[in-house]
Structure 1
């Protein structure tokens, strides 16, 4: 499932708004959800973040769900493990096998963890889905974040999309050859082949990116152009 994160960040309704406000609101909701540890507040953050992304920024529900589906899956599996394998407190349900069951502590912890993590990712969506990466880097540099962290973030951001593109291309190629439709054994073989080829392709892409950076005289700093949006939004008069 391809995520058009960069395209959405540049084409949403508030893409040209002040990035300091969007990054500040996102950080405020994330930090407050982590510090307060309250389920009701976490649910409130989820609703407010979703309202900003869907109602104000006009990001499509499909793209928003694509953004949340991967962290939601990992969060759900983690909370499921906490729910059944933390035998502390009074048992609500006991399976009778190796201490597997649901206790008051495991239930409270799993629910609290789920809503906290989901609230943080919803708040992160305010920044990721409405603010282009160049604006985010400009904000980080202006608040004196070390330059090396900004450069690593930009390179990782670019590498993630290259990685996802390789996965999508390989998976589509295997689907056209019925790599997942015959038997489960064939599907496992196709998946193993994809991961082994993906490792080689990742090395090849990283070398290509390094050559591209060297050919542009990369010395450890990626300059980011910050246009004056108010001036650029009007046509210039030439006498």
Structure 2
């Protein structure tokens, strides 16, 4: 993701413009609650990401996959377990039904969040994270917020690398070769990553202390153009 943000046709575009455009359109998309506008934003910014920024469709779909999975699960939960009104579908399972209110709630939630995905992708995939933090710093966002964001961003990639290493080690030992074995390997992975996260956090703190950490992390400042 960081490589993509540095290598696209919009990486040198004014980061302040991209940040403000994303923030404003996110607020408008969430506030309007309009299906047509949500679909329009999704299509427009998908075209910008793929056609203008020249980001590969594979990378874009990979960016959408995980949040899309959570969105589908959440909206199904809203449709089947929330809302009142006239019943429009009966599942026949423990009295679970779909009402017109729950259907409307789940459908509009799906498209509203769907419209936000390419907006976040537009900012995240075309703007290096260092420039985003620099913008936040110059806009006088509290230091604690930018520092937490910086540490979280760094830690995410460390954990992803740890998970990848653990999964490869499990597969070399015949892991994930059956359903039950996959469940056992997944449980082991989750428990081990929790322990490794504690170990990594302690290592990170020692690393910061050894480099003279005094409670404030430096933020990237782009060189001034002559």
TM-score under structure 1 length normalisation: 0.89
What 5-or-longer segments of structure 1 have no aligned partner? Answer: 232-239
Give the C-alpha shift of residue 97 in structure 1.
Answer: 4.2
- Encode CA deviations 1:37-80: one digit per residue, 9 max, x unaligned: 11111111111221121111111111111111111001100111
Task: Provide the rounded CA distance (Å) in 2 between the counterparts of 1:97 and 1:123.
Answer: 38
Candidates 99, 102, 105, aligned match of 1:106 = 102
Give the C-alpha shift of residue 92 in structure 1.
Answer: 1.1
Give the C-alpha shift of residue 204 in structure 1.
Answer: 1.6
Task: Provide the rounded CA distance (Å) in 2 between the counterparts of 1:45 and 1:169.
Answer: 38
Alignment partner, residue 201 of structure 2: 206
What 5-or-longer segments of structure 2 have no aligned partner? Answer: none
Asked if the contact 2:5/2:125 (under 8 Å) is kept, the reply is: yes
Give the C-alpha shift of residue 86 in structure 1.
Answer: 2.3
Candidates 62, 77, 82, aligned match of 1:81 = 77
Is 1:219 aligned to residue 199 of structure 2? no
> Within 5 A, what are the aligned runs for 1:21-100?
21-100=17-96
Alignment partner, residue 14 of structure 1: 10
Is 1:145 aligned to residue 141 of structure 2? yes
Asked if the contact 2:131/2:220 (under 8 Å) is kept, the reply is: no
Is 1:119 aligned to residue 142 of structure 2? no
Give the C-alpha shift of residue 19 in structure 1.
Answer: 0.3
Secondary structure of residue in 1 paired with 2:169: helix
Give the paired residue count: 226
Candidates 179, 184, 188, aligned match of 1:184 = 179
Alignment partner, residue 236 of structure 1: none
Give the C-alpha shift of residue 106 in structure 1.
Answer: 1.1
- Could you list the runs of 4 or more consecutive aligned residues of structure 1 that deviate by over 6 angstroms after TM superposition? none
Task: Provide the rounded CA distance (Å) in 1 between the counterparts of 2:142 and 2:175.
Answer: 46
Task: Provide the rounded CA distance (Å) in 2 between the counterparts of 1:141 and 1:195.
Answer: 35
Secondary structure of residue in 2 paired with 1:223: coil
Asked if the contact 1:14/1:57 (under 8 Å) is kept, the reply is: yes
Secondary structure of residue in 1 paired with 2:126: coil
Asked if the contact 1:87/1:101 (under 8 Å) is kept, the reply is: no
Task: Provide the rounded CA distance (Å) in 2 between the counterparts of 1:177 and 1:118.
Answer: 40
Secondary structure of residue in 1 paired with 2:133: helix
Task: Provide the rounded CA distance (Å) in 1 between the counterparts of 2:41 and 2:130.
Answer: 26
Task: Provide the rounded CA distance (Å) in 2 between the counterparts of 1:48 and 1:29.
Answer: 12
Task: Provide the rounded CA distance (Å) in 1 between the counterparts of 2:91 and 2:197.
Answer: 45
